[in-house]
């Protein structure tokens, strides 16, 4: 049997115009990427722990970035990666981390992470050219920016997890507002 793991990735994006986050006339938004040392740049992610709810893993990732998840919890894409070398097969679940304005997540190219002074992580805002080889991530960004209905997770008031398929008609009536989809630093 092949070893498998589930990775929960958090897509956090910065629109070209924060006043109109869905406007692509100035170009596609930039995507937050992180890396440790000289490792590859990738969107922030964690491995799903045994028995851990999907959104709890997404919250762990957001917390490490100093953010809170948007009000609408959405899975934007699911991608499967074949095993490579000693790495196991991965199922990657890309969760909507919302969008941020310019200074919500300081990440000048190659800057050290703010989680602690000794943290080895680096952050950057990557353009869509850096996503060209990642079909799952590119699809997730398109769904996030265009507010395409996605698989909704944990929306019941009682906290019960109840997945809902995208409605066929009138989805815009339940379409999240820009503030619902925006990812805010704690206390904002």
β-sheet bridge partners, residue 91: 6, 80
Asked if the model's pLDDT at residue 34 lies above 60, the reply is: yes
Alpha carbons 155 and 158: distance in angstroms, whole number = 9
Per-residue pLDDT tens digits for 125-141? 888 888 777 888 888 88
pLDDT of residue 175: 37
What pLDDT shows up at residue 53?
94
* Residues linked to residue 121 through DSSP beta bridges, in sequence order: 36
- The residue among 19, 15, 46, 45 whose CA lies nearest residue 31 is 15
pLDDT band at 23 (very low <50, low <70, confident <90, very high): confident
Higher-confidence position of 124 and 59: 59
Q: What is the pLDDT of residues 139-185, one digit of tens each?
A: 888 888 887 766 655 444 444 444 443 333 323 333 344 444 566 54
Residue 167 confidence (pLDDT): 36
Find out whether 14 and 125 touch, Cβ atoms under 8 Å. yes
What six digits make up the tokens of 136?
Answer: 């799952």
What is the mean predicted confidence (pLDDT) over 80-97?
A: 88
Regarding pTM above 0.85, the answer is no
Q: Residue 65: pLDDT band by 50, 70, 90 thresholds?
A: confident
Residue 95 and residue 74 in contact, taking contact as beta carbons nearer than 8 Å: yes
Cα–Cα dist 70/104, whole Å? 14
Write out the two tokens for 158: 């009682």
> How many residues are recorded in the chain?
188
- Per-residue pLDDT, 173: 31
Q: How confident is the model at residue 94 (pLDDT cuts 50, 70, 90)?
A: very high
Of 59 and 148, the one with more pLDDT = 59
Is the Cβ–Cβ distance between 67 and 105 less than 8 Å?
Answer: yes
User: What pLDDT band is residue 120 in, cutting at 50, 70 and 90?
Assistant: low
Distance CA 139, CA 31 (A): 13
Q: What pLDDT shows up at residue 152? A: 55
Of 3, 29, 7, 10, which is closest to residue 18 (Cα–Cα)? 29
Beta bridge partners of 126: 31
């Amino acid at each position: 049997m092949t070893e498998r793991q589930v990775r929960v990735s958090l897509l956090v994006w910065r629109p070209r115009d924060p006043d109109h986050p869905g406007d692509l006339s100035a170009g596609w938004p930039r995507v937050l990427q992180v890396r440790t040392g000289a490792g590859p740049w990738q969107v922030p992610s964690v491995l799903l722990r045994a028995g851990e709810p999907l959104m709890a893993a997404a919250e762990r990732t957001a917390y490490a970035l100093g953010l809170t998840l948007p009000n609408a919890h959405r899975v934007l894409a699911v991608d499967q990666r074949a095993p490579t070398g000693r790495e196991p097969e991965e199922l990657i679940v890309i969760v909507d981390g919302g969008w941020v304005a310019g200074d919500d997540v300081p990440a000048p190219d190659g800057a050290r992470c703010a989680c602690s002074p000794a943290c080895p992580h680096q952050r950057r805002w990557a353009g869509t050219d850096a996503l060209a080889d990642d079909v799952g991530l590119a699809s997730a960004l398109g769904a996030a920016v265009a507010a395409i209905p996605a698989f909704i997770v944990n929306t019941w008031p009682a906290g019960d997890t109840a997945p809902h398929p995208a409605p066929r008609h009138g989805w815009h009536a339940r379409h999240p507002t820009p503030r619902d989809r925006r990812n805010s630093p704690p206390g904002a």
